Copies of this chain bind each other. A is one copy, B any other.
Amino acid sequence: MNILITNDDGIYAQGIYKLACALDNIANIYVVAPDRQRSATGHAITMHEPLRAEKIKFFDKDFQAWAISGTPTDCVKLAIEALIPEKINIVFSGINKGPNLGTDVLYSGTVSAAIEGAILGYPAVAVSLADFKDVDYNYAAEFCMSLAKKILDNPLPEDTLLNVNIPNCKKETLKGVNITTLGVRKYKNSFIERIDPRGQSYYWLGGEIMDEKNHEGTDIHSIKNDAISITPIHFDLTKFDLIEQVKKWNIEIN
């Protein structure tokens, strides 16, 4: 089995290393990841400049590994369509430092890389550790190994993928695994205005999370209750049940 691994924290992040080491027990590992931190890049691709793919030594491992000058989505495209001739069986993106829950998946480079895998026709998984402090990737990586086996036994339908968030706690305190929907994650007071030494203003994106509507069954509720969330994802943005309604507007060339 061949597994392609990418992320958005960059190829030198601990999360991707731990993931690669765990999956190394069950597959040949190929790592193609951004050469630096590319968080919150969404599904960006690099069209207006060329991409560099530098073959690197990946920590203490002998995996084939490339550091890419582009986004997570670029990495998956380039890996599958240019760098790796072998047939890939699963695309894993992660382990991200920090959660990718609810509405936030739209901004996530981690999830977008997995979406790109699915667009190209491969089973794909995005994995995030739902914390920014004192992160311990060990159990999350171990969980990915068993999840990879599950995916081989239970093929995902075309054009779908899994978004996995794992609480940052010891295996013993985890409260199980929930198959979830994406919750709603919105922010208030998003921008902080500051003045630079030359008197000009600038803005930092900040914001406090408002997680009001996240009932049981959502990924956000699951993580709050120390359970792993797995959300099946698709990428057809068509709002089918609105088509007939908009037809009734009688929009015409006029």
A: residues with CB less than 8 A from B are 37, 39-48, 50-53, 73-74, 77-78, 81-82, 103, 105-107, 112, 115, 119, 143, 146-147, 150, 153-154, 156-157, 160, 162-163, 171, 174, 176-177, 179-182, 186, 189-191, 193-194, 200-205, 228, 230-240, 242-243, 245-247, 249, 251-254
Contact = CB atoms under 8 A, between A and B. Distances in A.
A8 to B, nearest CB: 11
B242 A232 contact: yes
B73 A42 contact: yes
Nearest to A248: B154
Given A174-B253, A233-B238, A238-B231, A107 B43 contact: yes
A173 to B, nearest CB: 10
A106 B174 contact: no
A147 B230 CA distance: 39
B41 A177 contact: no
Given A156-B242, A176-B252, A230-B251, 18 more contacts: A40-B45, A41-B42, A43-B43, A43-B107, A44-B44, A51-B202, A51-B203, A53-B202, A74-B205, A103-B235, A106-B119, A106-B235, A146-B251, A146-B254, A163-B237, A177-B253, A179-B243, A182-B237
Given A147-B251, A230-B246, A45 B119 contact: no
A179 B245 CA distance: 10
A203 B231 CA distance: 34
B39 A182 contact: no
A113 to B, nearest CB: 11
Contact of A77 (B174, B190, B240): B190
B37 A48 contact: yes
A77 to B, nearest CB: 6
A22 to B, nearest CB: 13
Chain B CB count within 10 A is highest, among A45, A201, A230, for: A45
